[in-house]
Structure formats: structure tokens, C-alpha cells
Chains A and B, each alone.
Chain A
Amino acid sequence: MRVPGLPDLTDAAGTPRTAPESEARGHHGGAAAIWRALRGVVDPEIPVVSVVELGIVRDVACTDGECIVTLTPTYSGCPATRVIESDVRAAVGRLTDAPVRIVTVLSPPWSSGWIAPEARRKLAAFGIAPPRHGAPNAARPIAFARAEIRCPNCGSRRTEELARFGSTACKAQHRCQDCLEPFDYFKPH
């Protein structure tokens, strides 16, 4: 199959650690081509990382005359969800004439820990501090425990939180105390 106009994004580093099974198997020509195409579909609000790298594509299956792409939302109310669905549908539609079905699953819930290592580097290069590793869901005492977030502009670790929320549902606002630049921080989730 041909993937017109899409960059070749087959580097192994871009594979999320939750690499869905059907991609890992990779034997099914149709599904493998669709996985490659989806690596060219970017998050509309963070246009440097693909929906595969973000870990929101959970499965691709091509059966008799139908392609099923299984997605999971990052945040329940994320307004980009619809756009992503339509972009995924369009990308798959360029590869095949078969009907495309988008299935949304909630379980297991998406976690920022699913973001691929390469995507974390791309986020930082884009000016968004990637989410801290660790256990964001562990029970902890309320607020004020300051996480150490590295400034994506100058690399300083002397940064502070300005606000718990930011320009999109997945980001908070931070500021560097050395270069004084404000920056987005991808919330650990």
C-alpha cells in the first residue's frame, strides 16, 4: 500500500512502551500501513507529536472489508478528541477504500506515562516540559509539594508553578526563575 505525502516515521525510538500488540505483530500488511500513517497524524494542539506517540491509539484491526481504529481520550473533555478522530479517519481513508470505524475505549484510562520517550524529547524541544515520571496517582498530601520541573528553554531546575491549568486540558503553567520565561508543563496524569 502507498502512503502518499506522509513522512517515514518508522524509527524504533518512537514506539510507545505501550506499543499496541497489533503493531508489534506487524504481520498484517493493512494494519502495519495504517500504523505508519497514524504516525503522521499529530495532536492538533501539540503539532509536534503524533497520536501514536501520545499513546492514544490503542489498536488497529483490519477485518473483512472494515478497518477499526481504537482510540482512548487523554482527558474526558478534551476538545481535540473530535478533531483527532476525523484526522485519523482521513489518514486511514487515504490508504483504503474500506469503511473506517473509530472505537473509543476508556479502560484502562490513558496515562501521561504512555507518552513515548521520543515524544517527550519533542515536547521539550517545542517548549513544553514533559510530564514527570513517577506515580501521579499515588495518594499524597495536598498540594504544595513542589515537583522539580526542568525549564524547556534553559534547562534550569529552578522553576515554579504559576497555575494548575494552562492553555489546554493537559497542561499547567510554570515559570523559570533563572531565565524568567513562562512555559507549559504537560500535567502528569
Chain B
Amino acid sequence: MGRNDGSVSKDRASQPASRAQVDGASAIPHPSPAILNYVLHLADNGLVLAQRLGEWVGKGPVLEEDIASTNVGLDLLGQARLWLAYAGDIDGRGEDELAYFRESADYRNLLLVEQPNGNYADTIARQYLFDQWHVLLLAELTASGDARIAAIAAKALTEVRYHVERSSGWLIRLGDGTELSHARMQAAIDASWMYTGEMFAVDAAERCLVDAGIAADAAALHAPWIAAVQSVFAEATLAVPADTWSQGNGGRGGKQGVHTEHLSRMLAEMQVLPRTYPDARW
């Protein structure tokens, strides 16, 4: 983050620390870089995946799926705005500044969600593997000791439960479908699998937040996640890939700002307008 390398800009430092009214009672006695990173991680997962899903607009395989994938994206974008507003209250930047003026190395999303859309099986694989994790994470976060994190998580949870129903449904339709759809679904799962290990990695800074009762223990989500995945895959007649080497493990992944090449390309498109015309207004 900019604040960690000492390059706090003047305009950033001079901005008011508080703007959002959302559950405004949340006190931040000691604004912590670790909390900021964690909230950005929650925000960026939704923001980046929403942008990817938005790339399907007008190109969905059927009209209903065009609408569905963008509606899921809309939910995730709405959730990302709530998280970004919180992050902005911690460090003084507005949600638009956080979304449009951070470089890829400042993004804290999982590597999985920045992967390109590929074919529809690739999109569904990415969505299901994320949704199944997301729903477990949010359920844990509803008990966060940070009241604002708990409130946003509870709000998002009702929406994400619906997301995982849809993505698991498609996984089963395609996996237990035709020979071609099964082959593509399995290939998509196999290709995405190396990005799933990172979802359960907890670095030292995050471990402190877990111990403080603020963050959910992502490592503890693996058992319920793999149980749900095995159950859905069985119905989908898909094989669970063997756990081998995993991208982003060992403290060098999306949560630490070490991304795949795909993110910077995606951000270039997402950020071009406000960066080219910084004063543009709707």
C-alpha cells in the first residue's frame, strides 16, 4: 500500500477521515494497516470478480445467464462498495479513489477471481469455487468483533447464499451433462484448482486479526469447503483434483499484492476513464 512505502500524498492526507453513514457507529480506536488490508481483501474480491462478470454483458451463452452473471456481479459490486467505504473511513481515501487509483500491487483480492472468463465452464468453475468459500467466510464474519465487518458480512451473506445455489446448479448441469460439457467442466476445474489453496492461507498479519476476533480463520474454512465441494462434485460426476502445488501460498499471493498478469490488464480497462479524465462526473 501507499501508506506502507511512505508515499502518502497530500490530498489523501488532507481528506476527511469519515464520510459514510453506513452503520457509522463503528469505532476504530487504532486504525491498523492489518485491518485496512483485510477489509481491502474483502472489497477487492467482490470488485474484481464483479468486473470480470461484467465482461459477459451482451455475450452470455443464453439471455438468462447474461442477466444472471451480471446480477451476481451487481451484488458483489454493491458489497465491494460497502467494504471500500469502510476501508476509506480507515485511511481517508474515497471508494472511487480506492477502486480507480490503486495499482495491481495494491489490490488484495484472491488470484482466483482475477482469472479471465475463458469459456462458460471456466467462468462457472471460478464462480463456484469462490462462492463456496465466500459463503463460509461471510458466515464466520457475522460473528466478527468488529461491528461494521459483522454488519456488512450479514448483509452480503443473504446474497451470496443465492450465488452458491446458482453456481453449484450450473456445475452439476454442465458436469453431469453431455460428454462435451463434462469434459469442459472438468478441464475448467482442473485449471482453476491451483488457485484455491490461497483461499485458506493465513499470513502473520492476518493471524493477528484472527486472534483479535476480527478476521475469520480462513484456514479453518478448508474442511467445510472441501466437504461441500466433494458433495457437489459427486452429484456433478466431476473428479476432485489432487492437492498439489498451489499458487499464492507462502505469503506471496493476491492478499499480499502479488498478482497474476491478468489483474493489471483488467485494471487497465476498468480504470482508464477516471485516470484519463480524473474530474469526470456522471
Contacts and interface: CB of A to CB of B under 8 A. Distances in A.
Contact of B68 (A105, A144, A165): A165
B169 A107 contact: no
A84 to B, nearest CB: 14
B172 A77 contact: no
B23 interface: yes
A107 B155 contact: yes
B91 interface: no
B166 interface: yes
A32 to B, nearest CB: 24
A36 to B, nearest CB: 24
The A contact surface, by secondary structure, is loop
A104 B166 contact: no
Interface residues on B, range: 35 or more
Residue with the greatest number of chain B CB neighbours at <10 A, chosen from A77, A104, A167: A77
Nearest to A170: B71
Given A106-B82, A173-B64, A77 B23 contact: no
Interface stretch (B11-19, B29-37, B157-165): B157-165
B65 to A, nearest CB: 8
Interface in A132-152: 136-137, 142-144
Nearest to A143: B169
A75 B74 CA distance: 9
Contacts of A107: 23, 147, 150-151, 154-155
Interface of B: 21-24, 64-65, 67-68, 71-72, 74-79, 81-82, 147, 150-152, 154-159, 161-162, 164-166, 168-169, 172, 232, 235
12 contacts: A73-B78, A75-B159, A76-B78, A76-B82, A76-B155, A103-B21, A137-B161, A163-B67, A164-B166, A165-B68, A167-B67, A173-B64
